């Protein structure tokens, strides 16, 4: 992957870059990264999934950003649409994390209100012995029978609100030792993070496609919050895909 900013470099490995970047933990919560891919005209899905927007370089960057995080948090809509499996990094990335005193893989937290999740979904069914169960974060409106059906496959935490706020979700992960949390979306979860002003870092992959259509942009909410000013710290490129990394100004 070619680095264009902050300095030009012909061949860099995203795994050498992303996990080593400075992410000062805010005083009261973990550092929050949002990582999303969008087409050049802002679409975040093709036929309901994001896979058609990316390519091999995007997968490298995606994994490097995962390797930078303690926890991955994702909306249940994305887990259902993208058929999420357990978050396993390649061996090289795991070795480097272990050398830095971190667990081999980040942990995964799913946010849900309706609790339309079941143990046959890949994320739960493909867990291997010794791997921690995914965490499901929900609110008081979640149906008890659905929680009951998932308690063996997942660790469930019911926060004290009918629909937990993003701040409460981050606080929960912070209480479990998270210093860096990565949101992988989708747009409606990111929209809440944006409205609450909680985004510290945005990693945006721009795919060289014009998609049109009804797709959401990377963050969507009923009402806009105050715009969050960002500073571009890195820009990478491969195969006309751009990988921008911004931090909160
Ligand atoms: N381009 C990309 O990088 C990218 C990344 C991710 C996703 N996507 C695409 O985005 C689409 C899915 O996005 P989406 O916006 O529809 O869904 P989403 O944000 O992934 O999930 C929305 C769901 O998350 C749960 N949720 C969100 N906030 C919550 C809160 N505060 N409390 C409790 N539950 C909460 C709810 O689940 P329940 O319905 O279970 O209550 C809600 O329906 C898919 O097409 C996917 O392919 C693209």
**Distance from C-alpha of 214 to C-alpha of 47, rounded to nearest angstrom:** 10
What confidence score (pLDDT) does residue 225 get? 86
Tell me the pLDDT tens digit for each residue of 114-137. Answer: 999 999 999 999 999 999 999 999
Q: Which of 74, 78, 168, 213 to mutate to test the pocket of ligand 1 (most atoms within 8 A of CB)?
A: 78
Residue 95 Cα to ligand 1 midpoint, Å, equals 31
Mean pLDDT, all residues of the chain: 97
Share of the chain above pLDDT 70, in %: 100
84-118 residue pLDDT tens: 999 999 999 999 999 999 999 999 999 999 999 99
**What does the alpha-carbon distance between residue 17 and residue 25 come to, in Å, rounded to a whole number?**
19
- What is residue 201's predicted lDDT score, i.e. its pLDDT? 99
Please check whether residue 124 is in contact with residue 134, taking contact to mean a CB–CB distance below 8 angstroms: yes
Query: According to the model, what pLDDT value does residue 166 have?
Result: 97
Given this model, what pLDDT does residue 15 score?
96
DSSP state of 89: -
- pLDDT category at 80 given cuts 50, 70, 90 is very high
Cα 7 to middle of ligand 1, angstroms = 35
3-state secondary structure of 230: strand
For the chain, counts of helices (H) and of strands (E): 8, 10
Omega within 30 of 0 (cis) for the link into 186: yes
CA distances (Å), 219 to each of 36, 168, 184, 227, in order? 9, 19, 11, 12
pLDDT for the residue numbered 123: 98
Distance, in Å, from the CA atom of 170 to the CA atom of 167, rounded to the nearest integer, reads: 5
Res. 224 pLDDT band, cuts 50 70 90: confident
pLDDT of residue 175: 98
pLDDT classification of 211: cutoffs 50, 70, 90: very high
Residues with CB under 6 A from ligand 1: 36-37, 44-45, 48-50, 75-78, 81-82, 111-114, 116, 139, 163-164, 184-189, 192, 216
Average pLDDT for residues 31-52, to the nearest whole number?
Answer: 98
DSSP 19: G
The encoded tokens of residue 11 equal 């061949």
Q: Tell which atom from ligand 1 comes closest to the C-alpha of 189.
A: 19
Q: Which of 20, 10, 132 minimizes the C-alpha distance to 65?
A: 20
Q: pLDDT tens-digit profile of 136-190? A: 999 999 999 999 999 999 999 999 999 999 999 999 999 999 999 999 999 999 9
What is the model's pLDDT at position 100? 94
- The answer to whether 77 touches 42, Cβ cutoff 8 Å, is no
Task: Tell me the β-bridge partners of 138.
Answer: 158
* pLDDT on residue 81: 98
pLDDT band at 39 (very low <50, low <70, confident <90, very high): very high
Ligand 1 center to 4 CA (angstroms): 32
In this prediction, residue 212 carries a pLDDT of 97
Work out the average pLDDT over 56-70.
97
Distance in angstroms (rounded) separating the CA atoms of residues 156 and 158: 7
**Nearest ligand 1 atom, CA 116:** 40
pTM of the model: 0.98
User: What is the whole-number distance in angstroms between the Cα of residue 73 and the centre of ligand 1?
Assistant: 10
């Amino acid at each position: 992957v070619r680095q264009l900013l902050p300095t030009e470099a012909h061949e860099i490995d995203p795994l050498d870059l992303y996990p080593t970047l400075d992410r000062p933990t805010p005083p009261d919560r973990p550092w929050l990264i949002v990582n999303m891919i969008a087409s050049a005209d802002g679409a975040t899905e093709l036929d309901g999934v994001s896979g058609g927007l990316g390519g091999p370089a995007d997968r490298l960057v995606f994994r490097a950003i995962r390797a930078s995080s303690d926890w991955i948090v994702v909306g249940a809509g994305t887990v259902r649409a993208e058929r999420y499996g357990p978050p396993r990094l390649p061996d090289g990335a795991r070795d480097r994390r272990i050398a830095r005193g971190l667990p081999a893989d980040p942990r995964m937290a799913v946010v849900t209100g309706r609790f339309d999740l079941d143990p046959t979904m890949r994320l739960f069914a493909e867990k291997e012995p010794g791997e921690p169960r995914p965490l499901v974060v929900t609110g008081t409106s979640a149906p008890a029978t659905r929680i009951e059906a998932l308690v063996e496959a997942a660790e469930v935490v019911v926060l004290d609100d009918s629909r937990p706020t993003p701040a409460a979700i981050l606080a929960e992960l912070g209480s479990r030792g998270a210093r860096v949390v990565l949101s992988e979306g989708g747009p409606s979860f990111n929209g809440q993070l944006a409205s609450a002003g909680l985004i510290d870092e945005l990693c945006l992959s721009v795919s060289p496609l014009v998609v049109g259509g009804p797709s959401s942009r990377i963050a969507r909410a009923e009402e806009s919050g105050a715009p969050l000013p960002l500073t571009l710290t890195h820009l990478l490129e491969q195969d006309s895909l751009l990988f921008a990394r911004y931090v909160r100004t």
